[in-house]
Amino acid sequence: MINGENYKRRRKETFSDDEDSCSTDNEPKKKDLNGIITSLLLLEEQEKRDHEEQNEASNEEKSILESNHKRKTRTMLEFYTNFQDYYSEIDETDRVKRKKSRTMAASVAVAAVSQTENQSPNQQNKQSGSGQQRRLWVKDRSKAWWDDCNRPDYPEEEFKKAFRMSKSTFELICEELNSVIAKEDTTLRNAIPVKQRVAVCIWRLATGEPLRLVSKRFGLGISTCHKLVLEVCSAIRSVLMPKYLHWPEEDSLRKIKEEFEGISGIPNVVGSMYTTHIPIIAPKISVAAYFNKRHTERNQKTSYSITVQGVVDPRGVFTDVCIGWPGSMTDDQVLEKSALYQRANGGLLKGVWIVGSSGYPLMDWVLVPYTQQHLTWTQHAFNEKIGEIQKIAKEAFGRLKGRWCCLQKRTEVKLQDLPVVLGACCVLHNICEMMDEGIDPDLKFALADDEMVPEVALKSVSSMKARDAIAHNLLHHGLAGTAFL
């Protein structure tokens, strides 16, 4: 019995020892498994963090690129504006310097003459004999052509062919500018007459001929002709532009609305708008900004240009112009940069329309044709009538470039001086139109400015409804034509 109990006790002790040994063996395995699981969780967490950091880095890089692009665009536009202001200041400084130098030269000449007069005859003879006396040398140039044109009996047709206007209109311009551009004679030389000054400028703008040919025609130096063109253009812009190129008053606007409505049947139209490009030589700075992709593709020749945006009345007279923005900008971008856009946002054009091409967006004050495919009869009729208003602006720009051939080809004028010259051309165009100066059919110029549909073609839902109402009235009141059928 005792032996049996001892046997059982030994069995228990042996079994418990086995259990202890098994549990001791399993503990390291559990620890290893827990370590592996923990490592996997840590790796997964690290991978998530890396992925989030990559996303944050890519988003930050994207925002940096966008901000850099916006900053570069803004900087380019600010640079262009500062560029114009800088050269305006330089021109003003040069003008003051030239004026001072002329005054000093005149005073020196007067002093020299008075000194010579006060000298005794013997002293004068000695100086002349010794060869020390200085004389002013002037190249002898023939101005027979201009003297012939300036004769009272010179044929009117020949004069108009040379200067794109009649003698009476030319005399009017000379009288208007006389007080600004007239110069006094000096002891060194006689001043160039006002008529000759104006003639040099207008003939240069009308023909677009190089300055060396202008010099031969008028018997003046090349640099003198260049200076005269810029001086007269500046005077035209400062003196004549406020008088002949400005936004109409209320009475005139009422007449303009009536005339446009009589032409198209569309009410409350106060202007027809168009944007053209003027070719230029590749500038030394901001070349990409002035690169004209559309003209380059069409002409198979690298083209650079600046823009001229204009609004005209039913007669083709400019009532607003925006000149000088780079040629890479689209029509709607030029419009947003114009003073007209700022005035319209201030309420100037509330309740009226300016008609533009498909290159402009539909806005509260800009009325454009339908551009989508599969137009309805009503939309066709509207496009037909609005096209008659568009044609007025396009033909006006055709006459502008036809009269002033300097706008048809790359000019010698510097980029910073071009806005002054182009502004003068627009003012002279208005004077010719107001004076009923017809244009020679041979001078008519065919415009080739590609219209690009803007990225945002609709900027006002209310104007879309108003356009639909106008189109409906045109068709159902018998005001639309039948060409669209």
**Residue spans per domain, the chain:** 143-242, 248-408+445-477
Give the mean model confidence (pLDDT) for residues 367-386: 91
Give the mean model confidence (pLDDT) for residues 266-287: 93
Give the mean model confidence (pLDDT) for residues 93-116: 64
CATH number for the domain running over 143-242: 1.10.472
Structural contact between residues 383 and 369, judged by C-beta atoms closer than 8 angstroms: yes
d(CA 184, CA 107): 14
Q: Name the phi and psi angles at 358, rounded to 5.
A: -70, -5
pLDDT at 131: 44
pLDDT tens-digit profile of 419-436?
999 999 999 999 999 999
Tokens of 432: 């010719």
Q: Name the one residue in this structure whose structure tokens are 């600010």.
A: 78
Question: Mean pLDDT of all residues in the chain?
Answer: 84
DSSP 43: H
Question: What confidence category does residue 186 fall into, taking pLDDT thresholds of 50, 70 and 90?
Answer: confident
Please say if the pLDDT value at position 124 is more than 90.
Answer: no
Please say if the pLDDT value at position 217 is more than 60.
Answer: yes
Give the mean model confidence (pLDDT) for residues 237-255: 95
Residue type, 417: D
pLDDT at 11: 57
pLDDT at 397: 96
More confident residue, 327 or 133: 327
For 328-337, letters b (16+ CB in 10 Å) and e give: bbbbbbbbeb
pLDDT tens-digit profile of 45-101?
888 888 888 888 778 887 787 777 777 767 666 766 666 666 666 667 767 777 776
Question: What confidence category does residue 338 fall into, taking pLDDT thresholds of 50, 70 and 90?
Answer: very high
pLDDT at 272: 97
pLDDT tens-digit profile of 276-285?
999 999 988 8
d(CA 469, CA 430): 34
pLDDT at 125: 47
DSSP letter string, 418-457: HHHHHHHHHHHHHHHHHTT----GGG-----------SS-
Please say if the pLDDT value at position 485 is more than 80.
Answer: no
Nearest to 242 by CA among 190, 319, 297: 319
Give the mean model confidence (pLDDT) for residues 409-414: 86
What sign has the CA pseudo-torsion 162, 424, 147, 136? negative
pLDDT at 81: 66
d(CA 116, CA 323): 53
pLDDT tens-digit profile of 341-350?
999 999 889 9
d(CA 6, CA 183): 144
Please give the share of the chain, as a percent, with pLDDT higher than 90: 54
Query: How many C-beta neighbours within 10 Å does residue 41 have?
Result: 10
pLDDT tens-digit profile of 6-41?
655 665 555 455 555 545 556 666 777 877 888 888
Please give the model's pTM, rounded to 2 decimal places: 0.71
Give the mean model confidence (pLDDT) for residues 359-365: 94
Please say if the pLDDT value at position 129 is more than 60.
Answer: no
Query: How many C-beta neighbours within 10 Å does residue 393 have?
Result: 25
More confident residue, 442 or 4: 442
pLDDT at 322: 96
Please give the share of the chain, as a percent, with pLDDT higher than 70: 79
